[in-house]
Amino acid sequence: MPKKAKDAGEEEPIGAGRFGRCRGNLKMGLVGLPNVGKSTTFNLFCDQQVAAENFPFCTIEPTDARCEVFDERFRWLCDLWKPPAGHEIPPYLHVTDIAGLIRGASEGDGLGNEFLSTIIGCDGIFHVVRAFDDESVIHVDDSVDPVRDLETIQSELCAKDLTFVKAAEAREKELVKRDRGSKLSPVFMETFKKMTEMLEQNKPVRDGDFTSEEVEMIKMKTQLITTKPIIYIINLSKKDFLRKKNKHLPKIKAWIEEHGGGLFMPYSCEWEQEYMDAKKSGAEALEAFVKESYPEKVPPIPSALQRIIKQGYKQLGLIYFFTAVRTPLTAPAPAPAGPWLCHCPPLCSDVPS
């Protein structure tokens, strides 16, 4: 559905800003079919050790953790100001590892009910897509086909949201029926008509062309999965990640562009795990591993995980806020004036961008 032209100066809200909720802890949920790398990605994000075995539905109960959002500006301020031990507080992204979804989950197949109830409580989605061939890793559909998997996840989410929309509409009509002097508002009728038509065509509600009044109606009357911002993270083999080529990527990109667009970020659980192991072995081991992986030219940030984490932070509409004080936070002395006291955005000119 085409977007309306925005008025001059009007900006489309980023990520969760359009349909999002006001909460203390916004979080991203890892979504995808079983055995695509969700739990491994969660462990790498948050330095956890949740089970990541080679069989479907290894993850049953959701696991919550947080991962640091690395920022060179924050590290620069800490090195400059040298705060007391325990008072360096970086930004964090909260992440939830969720059970795998299969075809029929919207009707309760597999662990569909557990999956859907958990993802409703998240504010954004990391959709993990498998694009690596490995006969030793089981696929629930017996073959690797990322486009088919994308269709499966989207159709199941849309089908579940359609049941939510129909239930909400039925409740509202019942209330109007009891109160004989009232009737459904035109905004309600138009909004629910649009949502129903989109979901019946397997189109997420977030891609719809809604007015401000209709957006508020959706937020007030429903709690839909397909309103949440989504980032597609494509799990490649180590070889494909390093050579930046994969036979599935063009088809995945085309599918995403045909279905509302969105962020598309390749990475490799296999390589990231080896990178993490080398990092824990010390600076020399990490440097040797990175040089071996990138013999020609090492990129500024060789790992893709921090780029993915930062995009998740951005899609939730979260912002950075830097502050610094001379004394411990418990001391009554006022903070000194100076260029090191800055808030972002914008940052003072003395802090590197």
Residue carrying the six token digits 């990541």:
52
Domain membership flag for residue 336: no
Give how many domains the chain has, as a whole number.
1
Give the dihedral sign, CA 40/112/222/159: positive
Query: Which pLDDT value is given to residue 244?
Result: 92
Domain membership flag for residue 225: yes
Domain membership flag for residue 138: yes
Nearest alpha carbon to residue 94 among 129, 42, 50, 49: 42
User: What string of DSSP letters covers 233-262?
Assistant: EEE--HHHHHHT--TTHHHHHHHHHHTT--
pLDDT tier, 87 (very low <50, low <70, confident <90, very high otherwise): confident
Domain membership flag for residue 291: no
Q: Is the pLDDT reported for residue 106 higher than 80? A: no
Q: Is 245 within 8 Å of 48 (Cβ atoms)?
A: no
Out of 12-16, 154-158, 219-223, which region has the weakest mean confidence (pLDDT)? 12-16
Cis before 345? omega within 30: yes
Model-level pTM?
A: 0.82
Distance CA 27, CA 49 (A): 19
Domain membership flag for residue 296: no
Domain membership flag for residue 331: no
pLDDT tens across 119-152, in order? 888 999 999 999 998 888 877 788 899 999 999 9
Give the end-to-end CA distance of the chain in Å, rounded to a whole number.
37
> What's the domain range around 223?
15-268+304-315
pLDDT (mean) for 105-115: 54
Nearest alpha carbon to residue 118 among 139, 95, 91, 148: 95
Measured CA angle at 175 (ends 173, 180), to 5 deg: 95
Query: Which pLDDT value is given to residue 236?
Result: 96
Out of 20-24, 49-53, 194-198, which region has the weakest mean confidence (pLDDT)? 49-53
Domain membership flag for residue 211: yes
Domain membership flag for residue 349: no
pLDDT (mean) for 194-219: 94
Average pLDDT score over the chain: 82
Nearest alpha carbon to residue 214 among 234, 239, 238, 195: 195
Query: Which pLDDT value is given to residue 141?
Result: 80
In Å, how far from its chain's centre is CA 119? 11
pLDDT (mean) for 75-82: 86
Q: Give me the helices (H) in 99-145, please.
A: 112-120
Out of 18-27, 53-62, 169-178, 335-344, which region has the weakest mean confidence (pLDDT)? 335-344
CATH number at residue 197: 3.40.50.300
Q: Is the pLDDT reported for residue 190 higher than 90? A: yes
